[in-house]
Structure 1
Amino acid sequence: MDGSLSFDTDDYIVEAKWWKEPMEREHVDIFDAKVRRKGKNALGLYIAVNGFTAGAVREHDRRTSFVTMDGGDLYAVLEGRIPLDELLKRKKRYANETGNCYFPVYLALAD
């Protein structure tokens, strides 16, 4: 765990990876376990600048305790194309509706 933050009415456990390779399933599974061991209402925010492998996303596409952000999400926020709070709200809503941890920024911008 790299830190935590409160946003809206939720508390998030944050993990940030600035690795050259996308995050593999094993790394994402470890983070999922960390989040599940926290408080009942804790959520996770996994930030990986180079994204996530298809296997990592597929493993958490029906049941997830966290949302993901990648470099594309970060650039969209830094370039002012979407406010961070709006992106987090949309990611959380998508995860709650679908169980999927992955909601790329281009879907949020298409709305």
Structure 2
Amino acid sequence: MGEQIDGAIYYNTDHYIVEAKWLGGAVEAERMTNFDGKVRRRRKNALGLFVSINGFSNGGKELFKRGTSFITMDGHDLFCVLEARIRLDDLISAKLLHANRTGDCYFPASEMHI
């Protein structure tokens, strides 16, 4: 009856609820909306990190382009970290800064000038 979460991390004074998906395709808007609800029902200062190896649908990205409770990370972002092109903490910080400035959940490493 309770909500399942895949994990939780504490980073730079913030608590993140983590959702991780390894699906055959991009995560659709409905799953993103469900995760947004999970994050919003937590404590007031909780944030979300949605990880999807195959990315996020255009509809989902568009839905959370102007206001979001979470940031996203896809397979390309993870490979950038694993290949030491960007540190994980720097990646999270850049994504969070982008979300705070724009309201957009999606900011891929490929757009970060790394």
TM tier, smaller? over 0.9
Residue 58 of structure 1 aligns with an amino acid whose one-letter code is: E
Residue 44 of structure 1 aligns with an amino acid whose one-letter code is: G
Aligned mates of 1:77, 1:20 — CA distance in 2: 22
Secondary structure of 2:25's partner? coil
Does the alignment pair 1:60 with 2:28?
no
Q: Which runs of 4+ in 1 moved over 2 A?
A: none
Secondary structure of 1:50's partner? coil
Match of 1:85 among 75, 86, 89: 89
Secondary structure of 1:22's partner? coil
Residue 25 of structure 1 aligns with an amino acid whose one-letter code is: A
Aligned mates of 2:9, 2:67 — CA distance in 1: 22
Deviation at 1:107, TM superposition (A): 1.6
Deviations 1:32-73 (A, max 9, x none): 000000010000000000000000000000000000000000
Aligned mates of 2:13, 2:106 — CA distance in 1: 21
Deviation at 1:94, TM superposition (A): 0.2
Deviation at 1:22, TM superposition (A): 0.3
Aligned position for 1:39? 43
Residue 51 of structure 1 aligns with an amino acid whose one-letter code is: G
Residue 70 of structure 2 aligns with an amino acid whose one-letter code is: F
Gaps of 5+ in 1: none
Aligned position for 1:5? 9
TM-score (ref. length: structure 2): 0.95
Match of 2:110 among 101, 106, 109: 106
Number of residues of Structure 1 aligned to a counterpart in Structure 2: 110
CA RMSD of aligned residues (A): 0.7
Indicate the percent of aligned positions where both proteins have the same amino acid: 51
Aligned mates of 1:20, 1:77 — CA distance in 2: 22
Gaps of 5+ in 2: none
Residue 99 of structure 1 aligns with an amino acid whose one-letter code is: G
TM-score (ref. length: structure 1): 0.97
